[in-house]
Structure formats: structure tokens, C-alpha cells
Amino acid sequence: MNQHLMDMPAVKTIVGHIFPTQSAQIERVTEGISTIVYRVVCQNEVFYLRILPEEHASFAPEVAIHTRLRQMQVKVPEVIYFEHYNELIQRSIMVTTEIKGRPIGQSSFLSEEVLHAILVEAGRDLAHINGIPVDGFGWMEHDQLETEHLRAQRSAHRAFVLEDWDADLAFLAGNVLHASERIHLEHALSRYNSWLNVELGYLAHGDFDTNHIYQEGGRYTGIIDFGEIRGASSWYDLGHFHVRDGEALSYRGLPGLIQGYQERISLPSDYMQHIRFTSIFINVRALARSLQKRPANRYTQLQLEVLREDLAALQLFL
């Protein structure tokens, strides 16, 4: 059973077990990538049933993260049901509440002032998320049931960051990068190499952008979708947001996000260099993966522009 062949009768049976006294409307949410997601409407309330596609993986780490964050008053969905292993579909499942509203990436009708205020609040919450320690780097270990200490797959940050670097750089150099840009990227890695010596891993949302920050009526309502969680440096989510900033909105949201972030965590004076350095690795990986799957489009062109901007900015300090 895979992500595309999930048995709807089985899903209805599971929903009937979780909500036994209520009739429910169920529909597949096609946006999900890392998990299989169904929207469940019961008595005008919306819930999300999530199913892991891997047979031996568990939502236990994600459930623990949601619980911990809500205890910290971070606005994330509440987990109302969890099974490490559901016998019927032989997968881990969980049900969460809804974060009201729509993503700010689909809220271009809002003024820059309102968007800025929303991003400041999201930045405060992101700082709490990024403050949770993780043992290791890379994808979260989804086979663990003991979740007091979160574990990731790699012990070294450098290995996590550079795993695909050479292959991705070679591909991009053969397709979209100038020879001089590849050289400058290699120089940047050499110049800031010590920044890869990260000892402690922290929780990263992993896919943080304007599509995962929600608002309703111009008020911040929360952050969704922790299906890409991983252990990383504390710069990872800020770097990822920077790569995507300006993709859905003409307004650049990073300054507002950083303003709120710094209300919780003090950043060094060279924080923008750290963000740009981190975003380069995220961007090179994302660009290579995208261009290997499909032709260049508006989004990959924007990513390429961000990569060149970051490289030019870091060149000033080389």
C-alpha cells in the first residue's frame, strides 16, 4: 500500500473508530508530500488524518514535538489521536486539529504592515522550535518510540550538509551555473568551512516558508506541517525561508521573521552571513533536485537569483 493507492474503505473505518458517534466527510489532501493526508470534517470542525507511507516508521517523534511545542504556547496543531502502528493499514497514524485561516503565501491582499506583524509572531514561535535539541543531524529517526531525546540519522553536521554537495554542484555547473560561479561557491565553502563544525543539533521544521505560516483575518494563527523535521544547525529554517522569500509574495518577509526570532534568541552581528551561507547548501540541493526532475521554471529561476545574490554578498567578506 503506497501513498497513491491508500484504500479509502480502510480510511473510513479508521475515521469511524476515532470519531464513532459522528458522521464525517473525508477528502484526500493532495498537497502532502512526506505523509498521506486526509481532511476530516466532523460537526463543522476540521481535523487532519495523517498516515506515514513507510511501513516501519512512527509518528512518535512528531507527536512528541507537537506536544512539547504546545506546552511552550507555540501555535501548532494539537495531536488528538496517535497510533504507532495501525493493524488495518499497517502504518503509523495520527490526527491533528486545524490551524485556522490560510497561508500568508496566499494572502497577498494583506498590507505589508499586517504581514510584517504576522511574521514577527511567527519568528517568536520559530525560535522556540529551533531551540529544541536533537541528538544528531539530518532526517529524524522515525523508528524510535522513546522520544524524550530526539535522534537524527547522522552524527556529524558536516556529513549531513555535504552529502550531495559535489554531485549537485557538478550537475548545476553543467546546466545553469557559470564556471566562475562554481569556483566562487567552492571558495565560499573553503572560507567559511569552520562554520560546518556544529557540535549540537537543533530541531528544524525543514520546509519553513510562507506556505506554512497561517493567518486568519490578518492575525497570526500558527505554523503547520512538521513532516520534514530534522536535526540541523540553528540557522537551517532561517536559511530555508530566505531561499523561498519573495517566491509567493513580492514582500520580503525575512526581516519581520528575524525581528520576532531575536525577541527569543539573540543573534550575532554577522547573522545574515550565517543565513546566506546556510541557504547556499539548501539552495544547491533543492535546485539540483528540481532541475533533474523537470525543466527550469519561474521558481527555479528565483532560486538561482537568490543563490547568486547570496554568493555575491558572501564574496564581499572573502
d(CA 261, CA 133): 17
| Residue 99: all three cell numbers together | 490551524
d(CA 93, CA 82): 6
For residue 6, the surrounding DSSP H or E stretch is none
For residue 166, the surrounding DSSP H or E stretch is helix 165-173
CATH code reported for the domain at 102-315: 3.90.1200.10
Domain boundaries, the chain: 8-97, 102-315
Q: Give the model's pLDDT for residue 1.
A: 43
Look at the pTM and tell me if it is higher than 0.85: yes
Q: Give the model's pLDDT for residue 318.
A: 54
Q: Give the model's pLDDT for residue 5.
A: 52
Q: Give the model's pLDDT for residue 2.
A: 45
Q: Give the model's pLDDT for residue 223.
A: 98
DSSP-based three-state secondary structure for 47: strand
Q: Which residues contact 174 (CB under 8 A, 6 or more apart)?
A: none
**10-residue stretch averages of pLDDT, the chain, 318 residues long:** 66 94 88 84 94 92 96 98 95 97 96 98 98 96 82 96 97 95 94 96 97 98 96 98 94 97 96 97 97 94 96 81
The answer to whether domain 8-97 and domain 102-315 are alike in fold is: no
Paired sense of beta strands 219-223 and 133-134, if any: unpaired
Q: Give the model's pLDDT for residue 4.
A: 45
Q: Give the model's pLDDT for residue 110.
A: 97
Q: Is 236 exposed, middle or buried (0-12, 13-18, 19+ CB in 10 A)?
A: buried
Q: Does domain 8-97 have CATH number 3.30.200.20?
A: yes
Q: What is the 3-state secondary structure (H, E, C) of 174-225?
A: CCCCCHHHHHHHHHHHHHCHHHHCCCCEEEECCCCCCCCEEEECCEEEEECC
